[in-house]
Structure formats: structure tokens, C-alpha cells
Chain A
Amino acid sequence: MCSVQEDDNDVPFSKVRPNESIGRTCMKCQEKAVLITRVNDAFCRSCFMVYITHKFRATIGKTKLVRDGEMVLIALSGGPSSSALLHLIQEGLSERTHKKLRFRPGLIFIDEGAAVNLPSSERLNNCEKMLDTMRSTGFPCCIKALEQGFDIDNIPELTSPSGTCCPGSQVEKDLGTIDHDTESISSDISTATSSVTLNMSECSISSSMEEPCSNSREAIAVSSLSRVESSFQKYEEAEEKLRCLLKSLNSVSAQEDLIRSIRHKILSEVATTCGYSKVMLGSCGTRLAVTLLTDMAIGRGGQAAVDTVFADKRYKNLMFLRPLREFSSKEIGMYNALNDVESFFIPTLTTKGSDGASIEHLTEAFVTGLQRDYPSTVSNIMRTGEKLSTGAEEESKEYCAMCQSSLDTNVVASSALNAVQFSQRISNRAADSDSIIDKSNKTGECCGEGDGGCNTTRTRVTKQQVLASLCYGCRLAIRKIDDVEKLPLYVLKDVFWRVRREKMKSEIEEFLLDTS
């Protein structure tokens, strides 16, 4: 049957025919054009460069969020966008530049090889290449591995003013930050902290520093190659945990989702422990449009705005910035090609996969396909995002224990969430999966992971308790997990803390006076 609706006719304009573009001249200076950008603007090489640099500085400048001398952590993946970002920053900081950028960058590369089962030789090779690139800039830098997310400890009740807490004082010192004097917080609450901290400081790539520029006092954290190599051996345990968790999720889409959340966790950890108040991400507009649509498809509509906005203020006292959000992947590709910016290829979970390999992968194929025929697709999607509220105005909302977004699970009776839960209840005797009690629930023992030496006295949390602390999207991601103890410690601790707080609250409830 026909599903056309009243308002279907308002569709974007389709592309102009290719032969109308042959031999066009630059829209600014009438020189011979080298590319067509946006919907139908032709640029010559030099005008394109001016256009890109201007757009980049304007994106950063107009918000006035980055202060002079502020320490900004630049997240590099090795891919084209973050490589272009690094190049643009270097250009912007150079003395000859007219409107000079004035922040102080530090670089981080997160090696995600473990997640895609890359052989360690290849991971080492990637790290070496990245290290070369990062060192050549003279900026402080460090390399982390995705599995290190499993060694991050999180103790919300001891949350320092910075909002997140650090793995341990040792690491901080090693990273050599100045003006950052957070006290060690690995004290009484969790006895597990000490062992994890030790683990972390031993393994940390950043624990061995070089100072490439002698005059640079601050935060020069460059690892030596030998340390990079040895670190692979050291992380075996965490690596195993990561693989084990990813495997139990049973879906590439869920794996991608979880990797994204662990990656952000590591970035925020490193940034706060090393005294960075901003993190810059290299995601370009095309990428963010894919993210926005993917968010819609994986039940993260409520977070779509915060995931794509220029300044993501989800974490307290730390801001994630996306200065390339106005750029298309084509512009990035052209910029890199015309400036000989080297990026190198690092495979992802869906590399060489078919379109249906994951939701994100499908969405990317969908958006790029549509973009070809309707060149305003990406900007339309981004326009949608700009009109959505990031929820930043609302203070102290409950947040997800895994991705730190505001919880979107407190819904009215008539809602998709309730409809799903009702469906599960009514067509399955075992009741809805959300209330399945973790069968392996034991209390007061070691978590049983790894060598049993973690000494945690943390009570195990049930799947139900974990799910209750997560947003809709994170619930979806771990839906298939067989044992919630496979989740990173920082998630479990957060959940545990919530459970305890609830318990405490119910214990003292009768003594509380109802003032309302």
C-alpha cells in the first residue's frame, strides 16, 4: 500500500549534471578550479586553502571557548580527518600565521588494534608511525591502548572537583603535568585501586618520558619505542578482558558502540589527569552526520545533539570540541591530497565488510550514497542536529554509568521503551530480560577475572542493577552480554556505588523528614 504522506514533497535538491561542471573557474578569483565543494561551489587551489583555514579558525574562534595558553588534548587516530586537524593546528600555531592559534596542544593516539585482533607486529608498527608523526611536531604526546580502559578505576563518591578521577598518582607524575595537583584518590573506598594503579603505572606507555625540546617544561610525555613494545606484553590481561567483553556482545554494532564509549573514557581520563581542559576530536561533518543518523538508529536520539555539537560538555570540567564539524570528508580528502598530509590506514571492525556489517557501516554507506545524488544531505542532517537541545541547560540530571549521557530511560507510560518491555513480557514466560537476575551472582568474593588478585571487596552487581544505571543505547549494546562482570571496572564501580547509595537511602528513609 501507498505510504506516501502529506509532506513528502519537500526533498533536497538533486545534483547538477556532471558535464555542467567541466572547466569551471574558482568562484572567488576566476582561476581554474580544482574542486567542487559544498553543494556547488568551485574553488581554485589557493582560494580553497584560504577557505579551509578560515573556516577552521572561525569554528574555533566564534565560540570563544578556547582560551590563550589553554592546554588542549588532540585525539589522533591516524586517519585523514585527525591528520588534517593536526596539520591545521600546526599551521595555525606557526609564527607567520596571521590570526595565530594560541592554545597549547598535546597529542594522544589510542591504539585500538586489540579490538580488531590486529597482530602485535602491526600494532607496534602503527604506534611507531604515530609516534614519529607526533614527535615531529614537538608537542607533548602519549599513546594509550584501548584495553587500558579496563584498568581505569572510577569512584564516584570521591570524585574530585574535576569530575572524573584518575587511575593513580603515579601515572600523573609520570605524565609530568604541571599545575595539576590532584591528590591521590586511591584511598579507602576500594582496595582494588591499589593493585590496578600499580598495574597501570607499570604498563603505562607514558611512564617513560623523553623531552624532545629542552625548553619545554610542561607536559612533555613522549614514550620511547622500547616502552611501546614492552607495553604490549604488559597489557595481555586487559586485552583479554576487552576481547572477552567484545565477543560476548555478539554484534558488531554493539561492539562499535562500546569501543566508542571506552575511547571517550580514556580520553577524558588522560585529559583530566594531565591537566587538559579540552579535548579536540577530528570528526568531520560527514562523519558526524553518520554519527547522528547512527545515534538515531541505535536508540541514542537523546544524545545525537551532544555527540555532534561543536562543544560537548557531557563531562564535568572537560569539554570535547569538534573543530572539523563544518568540513566534509571530501574537503578533508582534498586538503590532505593538496598539502601532502600523510594519513595512514588503520582497519576497523568493518573494514572490507559489506554494507550490512554494522549499523554504523550501513549508515555510512546510506549517507554517502545519498550525498552523491543530493549534495545537501550531510548539511541537512547537521542542520537537524544544530536545532536539537544538548541538554546542557539542565543541571544535575542522572547520567548513564557507561557513556555519561543523561539517562533517557525515565519515560512516560506511552513510550517505545515501555512498549518494548511489554512485548518482551507478553511473549516470553521468562519475563523481560531486563529483570533476569544474574545467575552467577555471588557476593563478597573476588571478581574471578584475571589472576584473582584484584582483591576487590566490591559486591557483585546484577545485570538488572547494571541495566538500571544505563541509558537506552547502552542497554541495547550490552543486551546480549552473558556476564556483566565482563564490563570495565569503572562501569561496575559506578553501578555499585549507585546501588549502595540507594540502599543507604532506603535504610535511613524512615528518619528523613518529609518537608514537601
Chain B
Amino acid sequence: MPLKCGLCDKQAILKRPKTGDALCKECFFLAFEEEVHQTITDANLFIKGETVAIGASGGKDSTVLAYVMKALNERYAYNLNLVLLSVDEGITGYRDDSLESVKRNEIQYCLPLKIVSYELYGWTMDAIVKQIGLKNNCTFCGVFRRQALDRGALMLKVDKIVTGHNADDIAETVIMNVLRGDIGRLRRCTAITTGTDGALPRCKPFKYTYEKEIVMYAYFKKLDYFSTECIYSPNAYRGFARAYIKDLEKIRPSAIIDIIHSGESLSVKKEVKMPVQGVCVRCGYISSNTVCKACVLLEGLNKGRPRLGIGKTHKERLKMAEDLNEKGDSSINSQNFFENGQLDSFSEQSSQSGLSCCRSTTAGCSCQTSEICNDTAGIHSSVDQQKINSLAIDF
């Protein structure tokens, strides 16, 4: 006999991975959306009138996030100004295809779309892989993507970024940080909002949403998303944690949320020193080191020593910081990279959206990125200045 929906007596079509309850399609949609709404309101994620960028990769998580954010924004009158923000890592056969699906979302959901390219750094992932091979390439991608998203968001003058990180991702990160003995990240990784200290806040409305339910939601809603794996090999270590989480889920489906509870109830000894968040002296991006990871990686690429910054090469980073300090502080303005004239050209290129947030930047901004870079350790010396200025214009 077919199971009946536990809420409305219609025929059930699924058993919720999260609770084990049998539900019909409509009741599942409602439960799924209400939970996200509950997460948003419990954590007071948004304030009316804010502009919020949805980090959109074209994959299932961010596609469902865009869909649900839009639906909830209307249903509960969040009064948010939503925009889609994508990063183009420059991976032929993967990102170019997934960006197509983001572009379709732009039309389907009537949300303006902005794309930031890795060209921002002067390097596509394809070019990076050509130089460093398939090992460690994810290091570059992870670091650059995060910064690119932040920079794109700053250009758009948004108040917050929401990302599609789901409960599985967070549980996985908790486990990874336990395995690495990384207490600083362990403490931070269960926070629903990060980056409140100065930089742009990022929130995860899917913090308590199971990946399986996201897939089910996308499937039953027939959402248009891109599901191919990246053509470059993924990080093996995270893969272990991922496999462990999946195995745990098979034994006890609540394990994912139980791990998040565990992460939330950890408290760190008072005497343990936490890394202090500062800003990168080179680009002004938040960093717990003098020079941020992206700058170190970029330096390595540009100097033909791509392994610089991979693994625990703190020495190199220290040396770089020293070099910078020696060359005089006057030219270093930590805000420069973030608020420079590039924004103007960027906003002109923005797609049909007519974003209200895309007003042109601080008039008095002195775009000195190139000078800084050339004056100091030559971080962008090999970067075609045109590229920097044109940022994400290649679309």
C-alpha cells in the first residue's frame, strides 16, 4: 500500500532524508521552504531593504538557493534586492557550461546577474593548471574564487552575500578542521554568518538543509541546473571527510545535523591563541597573515614558482611581507584594490539588469593598483594591465 503523506493524507512521494517522514510533493516543498525561512529569521540574517548577492555557480545548491530566496522574499516580504553573482574560473568545458545555466536562471527568475572572472588575477584556471598540473590546482581555485566573489560583491555595492553551502558541506568542514587540528577555523566554520568584522558578511541560509533534500527539491521542482563535476581533480583530503559524512549518514541520517550541533557547542580554551584577522598589506583583503593567500599564490604564478604558497611555506610568505615593508608603506593603501576605478568599467558592462546598486564608485578613488604592484614586489608585473581594468568584461 502506498504511504500517505504525514501531513495531508495525499499520497506521499518521498521520505524526508532529514526526518524520515513521508510527505507528498506539496508538503515537502512547504516544509523545505519554511525551514529555510525559519533559519533566516532565527538568525536575523537580513534587514529590510538590503541588497543581497546570491553566489551562483549554476550547480544545484545555488540554483535552489536563488529559487527559494526569491520565493521567500516575495512570500514574507523580506524586501531584499536580490542579484546573482557568479565567478568564472576559466575552466573550459566546465565553467563555461555551468555559466550558461546561471544565465538561464537570470531570465527564469528575473534576477540580475553579474559575472566576475579570474581574469581579475590575470590567470584562468586553465592557464594555472597548465603551469602547475593537476595536483594542488584546487588550492588556487578555492582561494581565488572566494576573493573574486567578495570583489564582485563590493563592486556591486551589495550588503551581503548568500552562498549555497548546505548542512553536509558544513559538517564536512567541521570534520576536516578536527582532522587538521585547526581550532581557529573549527570555531568559525559553524557560524551562519561570517565576515562581519569589516569585510562583506556572508551567510548560509542552507546551513541546516540537507544536500539530499536540495537535490530532491531541485528534482521535483524541475529546476534547471548544471551537475557535471569539475574536470580538474578535486582535493583528496576533503574527499575523505566527505566520504565519512556520507557513510555516517547511512548509519544515522541525523548525523549531519548532529555534527553541526557538536560544532556549535564547542568552546575553545581561553588560553588558546586565535589568529588575529587583519588585512593583507598588498591587496587589502582580510587575512590572518601579513600577505593574503591569494597574493602569495599569485606571486608564485607570476614569478614562475607556482608552488609558492602551497603547503605550509610560511617562510616564503614572511619573506614577502618583509620585502613589502622595506619598500615603503606610503604606496600601500589597503583599500585600493577594493575600491578602484575598475568599478566604473565594470558597471557599464553589467548585463541588462539595471542594478540600482551599481552606482559608480567613490569619485575620489585613486586607482593605484598598478603602481602599488609595480612598486612593491611586482605582484602584477606580468599581468596585463588591460586585463585588470577590464575585469569581467569577457562575456
Contact = CB atoms under 8 A, between A and B. Distances in A.
A422 B136 CA distance: 41
A359 B252 contact: yes
B175 interface: yes
Q: How large is the interface on B (under 10, 10 to 19, 20 to 34, 35 or more residues)?
A: 35 or more
A3 B267 contact: no
Interface string A276-319: 00000000000000001101111111101000000000000000
Contact of B230 (A2, A356, A370): A2
Contact of B143 (A6, A424, A476): A6
Contacts of A387: 181, 183, 268-269, 272
Most buried by B among A6, A7, A362: A7
Contacts of B238: 3-5, 8
A148 to B, nearest CB: 29
Interface in A419-439: 419-420, 422-424, 426-430
Contact of A408 (B175, B248, B265): B265
A4 B142 contact: yes
B86 to A, nearest CB: 12
A10 B312 contact: yes
B311 interface: yes
Interface string B2-27: 00001100000000101101010001
A413 B31 CA distance: 18
Interface size class of A (residues with CB under 8 A): 35 or more
Residue of A388, A391, A430 with most partner-chain B CB within 10 A:
A388
A422 B35 contact: yes
Contacts of A420: 208, 254, 257, 261
Interface stretch (B54-62, B74-82, B318-326): B54-62
Given A1-B57, A1-B61, A4-B235, A476 B142 contact: no
Contacts of B6: 427-430
Contacts of A415: 42, 261, 264
B270 interface: yes
A377 interface: yes
A388 B174 CA distance: 14
B251 interface: yes
B262 A299 contact: yes
A3 B242 contact: yes
Contacts of A297: 248, 255, 258-259, 262
Contacts of A366: 240, 244, 247
Interface in B198-230: 207-208, 226-227, 229-230
Contact of A10 (B182, B192, B252): B182
A358 interface: yes
A414 B266 contact: no
A191 interface: no
B92 interface: no
Contacts of B257: 416, 419-420
Top 8 closest pairs, chain A to chain B, by CB: A301-B262, A1-B59, A302-B265, A414-B43, A299-B258, A419-B208, A416-B261, A9-B139
6 contacts: A6-B143, A297-B258, A370-B240, A379-B181, A426-B30, A429-B6
Interface of B: 6-7, 16, 18-19, 21, 23, 27-28, 30-31, 34-35, 38-39, 42-44, 57-62, 98, 136, 138-139, 141-143, 145-146, 169, 172-183, 185-186, 192, 207-208, 226-227, 229-230, 234-235, 237-238, 240, 242, 244, 247-248, 250-252, 254-255, 257-270, 272, 293, 310-312
